[in-house]
Amino acid sequence: VRWVRFVREDGRIAYGTAEGESIVEVVGSPLVAWEEGDVVHEPGTVRLLAPVLPSKIVAVGRNYAAHAGELGNEVPDEPMIFLKPSTAVVGHGEPIRLPANAGRIDYEGELAVVIGRVARRVRADDASAYIFGYCAANDVTARDLQKKDGQWGRAKGFDTFCPLGPYIDDEIDPLASHIELRVNGDTRQSGSTADMVFGVGELVAFISSVMTLLPGDVILTGTPPGVGPLQAGDIVDVEIEGLGALSNPVEAG
């Protein structure tokens, strides 16, 4: 099932499932309670939003050895986690805004895991029962500020620094999916989620041993090699096998 969240023609926000190009609206939220509905929205009549509004985004640093290496870092012996604020989230098609005087701003294409049930001290082998689905993400990062601050709250936390979408799918293999990032159509990152140091089950277990994960919370699972800067006017696409392409324009300020 491909879940979307969208603005209807009358301005109301709803959830639905993508059926081909059309969207079948459901009653309620798939993360709380929902029923099937009979309203069908034809292609082009609704505007997609980020498919989920997380209470928190837990991101994992250096989870692909080749990316850790390209920035001169070692692979950690435990997952290295940090938080991005919920207010950084934007959806497919919404602009990434480059803050003024923040230095270099990088893209990082990543697989996002969306939690479906309250998860506390979950075992890695049981993790799939707590996962609602997966979507593409861009962990936008102010690289110079990340180095300058040491703490990453500012570098990772600007508004619009967490595009998610275009939809959430629950049927992909999260440990064997091709992940690609393009800037203006040129491929900059190309990898496989098979190369993650810590797999999705291990990440859910590790993070839920620290903090309770709530329905809708998002885990960003790290980025493959090839990170680089964005400029105003760019279009950046994160495409993950089975999850479509998350596309965002880049704008100043």
Contact segment (CB under 5 A) with Zn ion among 65-73, 102-110, 190-198, 202-210 equals: 102-110
What Å distances lie between residue 91 and 160, 162, 245, CA to CA?
A: 9, 8, 12
CB of 223 to Zn ion, least distance (A): 5
Residue 68: in which H helix or E strand, if any? helix 65-70
**Secondary structure class of 188 (helix, strand, coil):** strand
Nearer to Zn ion, 139 or 169 (CB): 139
106 counts as binding Zn ion under rule CB under 5 A: no
223 counts as binding Zn ion under rule CB under 5 A: yes
CB of 96 to Zn ion, least distance (A): 14
C-alpha span between 253 and 98 (Å, rounded): 5
Nearer to Zn ion, 193 or 223 (CB): 223
Nearer to Zn ion, 141 or 208 (CB): 141
- Beta partners for 213? 119
CB of 17 to Zn ion, least distance (A): 29
CB of 150 to Zn ion, least distance (A): 17
25 counts as binding Zn ion under rule CB under 5 A: no
The interface with Zn ion within residues 65-84 (CB under 5 A) comprises none
- Phi, psi for 50 (deg, rounded to 5): -55, 135
Contact segment (CB under 5 A) with Zn ion among 41-49, 50-58, 181-189, 218-226 equals: 218-226
Nearer to Zn ion, 63 or 247 (CB): 63
Q: Out of 25, 106, 139, 169, name the contact with Zn ion by CB under 5 A.
A: 139
| Residue 103 neighbours by CB under 8 Å, 6+ apart | 142, 143, 144, 145
Determine the residue type at 120.
Answer: R
Q: Out of 108, 217, 237, 239, name the contact with Zn ion by CB under 5 A.
A: 108
| Residue 58 neighbours by CB under 8 Å, 6+ apart | 81, 82, 83, 207, 211, 213, 217, 218, 219, 220
Residue ranges binding Zn ion (CB under 5 A): 108, 139, 223
